């Protein structure tokens, strides 16, 4: 390793930023934004190196695995880091506006340390190659995420936050149990050791326990019960971070482990796909029934996460070496689009004064920029071309069709129909003007700088679909060693 | 294995399971906490018997002592806020139907049995990283293998565990301001005399645990928990009263360990060394420096977690005064 150690820096910078924002609350916003920008710069430098040399490894402490811990950046890691950096930077920009003013001073003071700790934890997960280290990182993510959930301080948010704590701790403990079982079997916890492990009932049991823990954390049906309330009741920037980024941490670990499962048989993959299918259908039904805009968006997260698991299972055991790429694309697409959508929903709620879907078309206030953002994000989540979500779904269905697994194609289609239906509930409200009550129509109301960040995110999610070729090539970089 | 010790181990194992079951079955919240503390102490004893004194110390100090104190503090809060069913002697509410509980228990048993069959059916690897640790020990700068793993070989994990504690106190400070104030629990004036006698001794034990960690069981987390016990006594006896003006200092003390640890990890890099790679000959000095500062942060953070809220939320200093 020559030159600056961008890997360690991308974990340490947000850590120092969090400390600085915590001890200097008045300067928290400035410090926070600067830290996120600097961290994103680190990720770009790292991307440059990975593009040039393939995977980059840093043996922390100079010991090397399995005694010490190694950080490793390959194409998939950097893609996740870049997603985190891009979404994080734009959410940060909109958080400055959302938490401006005296009324939200307390939220502002605590948002930044928590979000920066979260960034540190997420970056640590994407660079980690040691199972115990991943456990520590998901604990940091969980604590920071719970803090962000209850930031608003409302009774509903506190209630949802408590449920989230229980789910999160249980998930982490199950993961830790699996880590302990693997150590008993192998005597080491680094990825290289896990890859080389001979298949055994004990390894399958350990990985299964870990999978259940991670499924709880990423809210895979039927372990999703904590998510809708937690994501719907948080403040808008916090919701964007929770839905866009936090659930991706556990998803990424699943994706990595999927490559190492010694006995990831057809049956287990089908089971994972069925859980995903359950999420797609149940999430869709609940999103259709939701009465609040943010709750609808939260339920759509449950459905979209299910779709990512369907992508993982799309072509069975033989297709797994390619399926993870479809899942990764859907993760990237969902991360960007969902963050944009939550920010837009928050803006609409702020301007209109409520987020009851039924009454959106009665309001004379029409925050059109936020509505356009919402529509662009919906295009991406529904999967219309040329968005990144379209490419992800295309990859999913192509693989499933080639393997002859038409049932996964059908599930994807059903999920798409559901998403068209529930997003139409909202979009129809934006476009109807015949039920307006209480004053003259105020179109283009509330255009402000705060609309810029979500709009850029939503636009990026759509346009990145045009760059899908290079993105797929990039996430494949250095995958040979880690994704057998 | 000598006969009396075998009998002791058997009784200990049975007692741990029995106390755990009792803690789950008892309906009174206070009794539940007491049983939990007993459970923790017995577990600590079991760790000693399993030749893991470091884990035993951590279990006794943090898992049992501080967690027990936190649980009692929570109970105090619930009672002060008049939560139904939490009055002294009253039964805890029982929202879970018996059928659901038994179904859960059955499923859990099935899963545990399945795990047991899978694990016991496969050959266990009896050696872990012991050989690698033993080989690297001379380079680690300390003589206690546990400290070598925590502060050198896997210092990155330990740094992040310190960060977990920092995250916890940030979340608690943030959340607690949303809740109404409850009168702080306090002990009478007689306890102040007790505190004056015991606190210096506790301080010496805490610092000893930290110092001994280099060669023998002990270390920053155990020492920090011991020193936090002093903080608890200071809070309970009213010898120390948190004040909004102390917040800046408190914040600095919370982050001290994280900053020192992370700064050392980054600054030692360069000249061919990776992050966390201590220069040869300086490992022991740096480890002691990190451990010392981390101990202070752990002690102050655990004390603050017990106090709970950010001092700004105090509705005046009234609630401490008679």
Instruction: Give the number of residues written for chain A.
Output: 484
- Quick one: average pLDDT of A272-290? 94
Instruction: Name every residue whose Cβ is closer than 8 Å to that of residue A136 and which is 6 or more positions away in sequence.
Output: B157, B160, B161, B164
* Nearest beta carbon to residue A187 from set B128, B252, B276: B128
Instruction: Report how far apart, in Å, the C-alpha atoms of B211 and of each of B60, B147, B219, B292 are.
Output: 18, 11, 7, 8
The interface predicted TM-score (ipTM) is: 0.92
Percentage, residues of chain A above pLDDT 90: 53
Residue A278 scores a pLDDT above 90 = yes
Residue B112, domain member (yes or no)? no
Flag if B119 and A184 touch (Cβ within 8 Å).
yes
Instruction: Report how far apart, in Å, the C-alpha atoms of A202 and of each of A75, A78, A261 are.
Output: 31, 32, 12
* Nearest residue in chain B measured CA to CA from A118: B167
Residue A437 scores a pLDDT above 80 = no
For residue A417, what pLDDT band results from cuts at 50, 70 and 90? very high
Residue A263 scores a pLDDT above 70 = no
In this structure, are residues A18 and A113 in contact, taking their beta carbons and an 8 Å threshold?
yes
Q: To the nearest whole number, what is the mean pLDDT of chain A?
A: 88
Q: In terms of residue numbers, what domain contains B34?
A: 1-93
Give me the torsion for CA of A288, A293, A295, A298, rounded to 10°.
90
Q: What is the 3-state secondary structure (H, E, C) of B196-230?
A: HHHHHHHHHHHHHHHHHCCCCCCCHHHHHHHHHHH
* Nearest beta carbon to residue A124 from set B117, B122, B160: B160
- Quick one: average pLDDT of A389-408? 89
DSSP string, B136-194: HHHHHS-S-HHHHIIIIITHHHHHHHHHHHHHHHHHHHHHHTTSPP-PPP---THHHHH
Flag if A204 and B118 touch (Cβ within 8 Å).
yes
* Nearest residue in chain B measured CA to CA from A19: B255
Give me the torsion for CA of A207, A209, A211, A212, rounded to 10°.
170
In this structure, are residues B86 and B78 in contact, taking their beta carbons and an 8 Å threshold?
yes
Judging contacts by C-beta atoms under 8 Å, the chain A residues touching residue B167 are 114, 117, 140, 143-144, 147
**CA-to-CA distance for B103 and B100, rounded, in angstroms?**
5
- The reply to whether B83 and B231 lie within a common domain is no
Residue A346, domain member (yes or no)? yes
Confidence (pLDDT) at B86: 47
* Nearest beta carbon to residue A23 from set B132, B164, B252: B252
Q: Residue A434: how many CB atoms within 10 A of its CB?
A: 5
Confidence (pLDDT) at A450: 79
Q: Residue A465: how many CB atoms within 10 A of its CB?
A: 24
Confidence (pLDDT) at B245: 81
Flag if A63 and B136 touch (Cβ within 8 Å).
yes
- The reply to whether B197 and B76 lie within a common domain is no
Question: Nearest CA to B256 among B302, B297, B286?
Answer: B297
**Chain B interface test: which of A56, A60, A118, A177 (most B C-beta within 10 Å):** A60
Residue A293, domain member (yes or no)? yes
For residue A421, what pLDDT band results from cuts at 50, 70 and 90? very high
* Nearest beta carbon to residue B177 from set A22, A106, A132: A106
Tell the residue number behind the tokens 């190492």, with chain if given. A260
- The reply to whether B195 and B66 lie within a common domain is no
Give SS3 for B270: strand
Confidence (pLDDT) at A89: 94
Confidence (pLDDT) at A260: 65
**CA-to-CA distance for A421 and A419, rounded, in angstroms?**
5
Confidence (pLDDT) at A199: 79
For residue A482, what pLDDT band results from cuts at 50, 70 and 90? very low
Chain centre distance of CA A141: 12
Class of residue A184 by CB neighbours under 10 A (exposed 0-12, middle 13-18, buried 19+): middle
Confidence (pLDDT) at B29: 87
Confidence (pLDDT) at A163: 92
Last residue of a domain, one of B72, B93, B114: B93
**Chain A interface test: which of B63, B123, B133, B160 (most A C-beta within 10 Å):** B160
Residue A168 scores a pLDDT above 90 = yes
- Dig out the tokens for A278 from the structure: 């359950």
**CA-to-CA distance for B73 and B80, rounded, in angstroms?**
10
Instruction: Report how far apart, in Å, the C-alpha atoms of A53 and of each of A72, A73, A123, A477 are.
Output: 12, 11, 20, 9
Residue B285, domain member (yes or no)? yes
Residue B213, domain member (yes or no)? yes
Flag if B167 and A144 touch (Cβ within 8 Å).
yes
Q: What phi and psi, each to the nearest 5 degrees, are found at residue B51? A: 60, 35
Question: Nearest CA to A403 among A329, A323, A295, A336?
Answer: A323
User: Which is it for strands A56-60 and A365-366: parallel, antiparallel or unpaired?
Assistant: unpaired
**CA-to-CA distance for A316 and A318, rounded, in angstroms?**
6
Flag if A151 and B155 touch (Cβ within 8 Å).
no
Flag if A114 and B171 touch (Cβ within 8 Å).
yes
Question: Which is more confidently placed, B119 or A374?
Answer: A374
In angstroms, what is the C-alpha Rg of chain B?
23
Size of interface A-B (CB pairs under 8 A): 155
Residue B107, domain member (yes or no)? no
Judging contacts by C-beta atoms under 8 Å, the chain A residues touching residue B271 are none
- The reply to whether B49 and B147 lie within a common domain is no
Confidence (pLDDT) at B129: 82
Judging contacts by C-beta atoms under 8 Å, the chain B residues touching residue A58 are 274-275
The residues facing A190 across adjacent strands are A130
Give SS3 for B61: helix
Residue B86, domain member (yes or no)? yes
Flag if A140 and B276 touch (Cβ within 8 Å).
no
- The reply to whether B302 and B170 lie within a common domain is yes
Cis peptide before B75 (omega within 30 of 0): no
Confidence (pLDDT) at A261: 63
Give SS3 for B273: strand
* Nearest beta carbon to residue A61 from set B121, B155, B262: B155
- The reply to whether B61 and B134 lie within a common domain is no
In this structure, are residues A231 and A242 in contact, taking their beta carbons and an 8 Å threshold?
yes
Q: In terms of residue numbers, what domain contains A335?
A: 266-484
**Chain B interface test: which of A10, A62, A117, A125 (most B C-beta within 10 Å):** A62
Confidence (pLDDT) at A480: 55
Confidence (pLDDT) at B170: 93
For residue A43, what pLDDT band results from cuts at 50, 70 and 90? very high
Confidence (pLDDT) at A205: 86
**CA-to-CA distance for A242 and A230, rounded, in angstroms?**
9
Confidence (pLDDT) at B183: 62
- Dig out the tokens for B199 from the structure: 């606190």
Number of domains making up chain A: 1
Last residue of a domain, one of B69, B93, B117: B93
Per-residue pLDDT reduced to its tens digit, A318-339: 777 788 888 999 999 999 999 9
Q: Minimal Cα–Cα distance from A194 to chain B, Å?
A: 14
Q: What is the 3-state secondary structure (H, E, C) of A180-228?
A: HHHHHHHCCCEHHHHHHCCCCHHHHHHHHHHHHHHHHHHCCCCCCCCHH
Per-residue pLDDT reduced to its tens digit, A136-160: 999 999 999 999 999 888 888 888 9
Tell the residue number behind the tokens 């793993």, with chain if given. B149
**CA-to-CA distance for B322 and B316, rounded, in angstroms?**
13
**Chain A interface test: which of B67, B117, B170, B297 (most A C-beta within 10 Å):** B170
- The reply to whether B64 and B184 lie within a common domain is no
Question: Which is more confidently placed, B235 or A134?
Answer: A134
Number of domains making up chain B: 2
Give me the torsion for CA of A300, A305, A311, A312, rounded to 10°.
-170
Q: Minimal Cα–Cα distance from B18 to chain A, Å?
A: 22
In this structure, are residues A128 and A201 in contact, taking their beta carbons and an 8 Å threshold?
no
For residue A444, what pLDDT band results from cuts at 50, 70 and 90? low
Instruction: Report how far apart, in Å, the C-alpha atoms of A182 and of each of A176, A215, B157 are.
Output: 10, 18, 18
* Nearest beta carbon to residue A140 from set B163, B262, B276: B163
* Nearest residue in chain A measured CA to CA from B133: A67
Flag if A205 and B118 touch (Cβ within 8 Å).
yes
Ordered per-residue pLDDT tens for chain B, 322 residues:
567 788 899 999 999 999 999 998 888 889 999 999 999 999 999 999 988 888 888 888 888 888 999 998 888 878 777 664 445 555 555 677 889 989 988 999 999 898 888 888 777 666 778 888 888 888 888 888 888 888 888 989 999 999 999 999 999 888 865 555 566 666 666 777 777 778 888 888 878 877 776 666 667 888 888 888 888 888 887 778 888 788 889 899 999 999 999 999 888 887 778 888 888 888 888 888 888 899 899 999 999 988 887 876 444 333 333 3
- The reply to whether B136 and B215 lie within a common domain is yes
Flag if A12 and B262 touch (Cβ within 8 Å).
yes
* Nearest beta carbon to residue B168 from set A23, A66, A143: A143
Judging contacts by C-beta atoms under 8 Å, the chain A residues touching residue B124 are 184-185
Flag if B170 and A147 touch (Cβ within 8 Å).
yes
Q: Minimal Cα–Cα distance from B3 to chain A, Å?
A: 28
* Nearest residue in chain B measured CA to CA from A3: B270
* Nearest residue in chain B measured CA to CA from A25: B248
Residue B110, domain member (yes or no)? no
In this structure, are residues B92 and B79 in contact, taking their beta carbons and an 8 Å threshold?
no
Residue B294, domain member (yes or no)? yes
Flag if A61 and B128 touch (Cβ within 8 Å).
no
């Amino acid at each position: 390793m020559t030159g600056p150690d961008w890997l360690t820096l991308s974990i340490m910078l947000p850590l120092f930023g969090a400390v600085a924002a915590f001890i200097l609350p008045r300067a928290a916003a400035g410090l926070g934004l600067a830290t996120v920008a600097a961290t994103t710069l680190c990720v770009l430098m790292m991307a440059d190196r990975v593009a040039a040399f393939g995977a980059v490894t840093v043996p922390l402490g100079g010991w090397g695995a399995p005694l010490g811990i190694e950080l490793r950046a390959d194409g998939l890691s950097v893609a996740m880091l870049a997603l985190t950096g891009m979404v994080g930077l734009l959410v940060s920009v909109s958080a400055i506006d959302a938490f401006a003013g005296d009324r939200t001073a307390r939220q502002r003071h605590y948002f930044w340390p928590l979000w920066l700790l979260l960034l540190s934890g997420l970056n640590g997960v994407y660079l980690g190659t040691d199972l115990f280290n991943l456990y520590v990182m998901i604990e940091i993510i969980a604590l920071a995420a719970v803090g962000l959930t209850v930031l608003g301080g409302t009774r509903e948010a506190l209630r949802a936050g408590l449920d989230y704590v229980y789910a999160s701790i249980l998930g982490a403990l199950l993961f830790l149990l699996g880590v302990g079982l693997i150590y008993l079997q192998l005597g080491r916890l680094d990825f290289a050791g896990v890859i080389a492990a001979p298949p055994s009932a004990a390894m399958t049991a350990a990985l299964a326990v870990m999978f259940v823990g991670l499924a709880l954390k990423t809210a895979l049906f039927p372990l999703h019960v904590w998510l809708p309330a937690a994501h719907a009741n948080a403040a808008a920037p916090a919701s964007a971070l929770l839905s866009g980024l936090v659930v991706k941490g556990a998803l990424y670990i699943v994706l990595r482990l999927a490559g190492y499962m010694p006995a990831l048989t057809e049956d287990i993959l089908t089971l994972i796909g069925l859980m995903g299918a359950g999420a797609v259908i149940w999430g869709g039904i609940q999103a259709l029934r939701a009465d609040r805009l943010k709750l609808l968006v939260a339920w759509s997260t449950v459905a979209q996460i299910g779709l990512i698991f369907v992508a993982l299972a799309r072509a069975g055991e033989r297709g797994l070496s390619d399926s993870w790429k479809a899942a990764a694309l859907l993760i990237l697409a969902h991360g960007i689009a969902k963050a944009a959508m939550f920010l837009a929903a928050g803006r609409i709620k702020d301007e209109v004064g409520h987020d009851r879907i039924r009454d959106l078309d009665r309001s004379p206030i029409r925050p059109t920029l936020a509505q356009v953002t919402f529509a662009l994000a919906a295009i991406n989540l529904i999967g219309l071309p040329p968005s990144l979500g379209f490419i992800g779904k295309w990859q999913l269905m192509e693989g499933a069709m080639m393997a002859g697994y038409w049932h996964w194609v059908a599930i994807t289609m059903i999920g798409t129909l559901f998403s068209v239906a529930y997003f139409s509930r909202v979009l129809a409200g934006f476009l109807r003007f015949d039920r307006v009550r209480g004053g003259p129509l105020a179109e283009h109301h509330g255009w402000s700088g705060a609309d810029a960040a979500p709009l850029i995110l939503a636009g990026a999610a759509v346009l990145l679909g045009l760059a899908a070729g290079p993105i797929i090539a990039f996430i494949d970089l250095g995958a040979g060693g880690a994704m057998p | 294995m000598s006969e009396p010790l075998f009998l002791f181990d058997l009784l200990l194992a049975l007692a741990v399971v029995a106390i755990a079951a009792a803690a789950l079955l008892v309906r009174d919240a206070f009794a539940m906490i007491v049983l939990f503390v007993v459970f923790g102490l017995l577990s600590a004893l079991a760790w000693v018997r399993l030749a893991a004194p470091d884990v035993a110390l951590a279990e006794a100090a943090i898992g049992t002592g501080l967690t027990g104190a936190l649980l009692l503090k929570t109970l105090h809060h619930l009672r002060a806020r008049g939560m139904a069913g939490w009055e002294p002697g009253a039964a805890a509410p029982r929202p879970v139907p018996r059928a659901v509980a038994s179904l859960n228990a059955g499923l859990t048993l099935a899963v545990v049995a399945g795990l047991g069959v899978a694990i016991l059916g496969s050959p266990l690897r009896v050696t872990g990283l012991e050989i690698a640790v033993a080989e690297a020990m001379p380079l680690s700068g300390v003589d206690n293998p546990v400290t070598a793993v925590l502060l050198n070989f896997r210092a990155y994990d330990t740094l992040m565990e310190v960060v977990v504690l920092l995250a916890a106190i940030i979340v608690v400070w943030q959340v607690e301001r949303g809740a109404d104030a409850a009168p702080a629990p306090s002990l009478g004036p007689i306890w102040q005399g007790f505190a004056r006698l015991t606190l210096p001794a506790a301080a010496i034990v805490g610092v000893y645990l930290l110092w001994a960690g280099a060669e023998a069981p002990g270390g920053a987390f155990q020492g920090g928990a011991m020193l936090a016990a002093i903080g608890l006594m200071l809070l309970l006896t009213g010898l120390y009263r948190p004040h909004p003006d102390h917040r800046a200092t408190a914040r600095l003390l919370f982050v001290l360990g994280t900053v020192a640890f992370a700064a050392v990890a980054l600054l030692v890099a360069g000249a061919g060394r990776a992050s966390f790679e201590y220069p040869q000959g300086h490992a022991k000095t740096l480890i002691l420096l990190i451990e010392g500062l981390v101990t202070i942060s752990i002690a102050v953070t655990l004390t603050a977690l017990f106090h709970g809220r950010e001092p700004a939320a105090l509705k005046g200093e009234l609630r401490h005064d008679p």
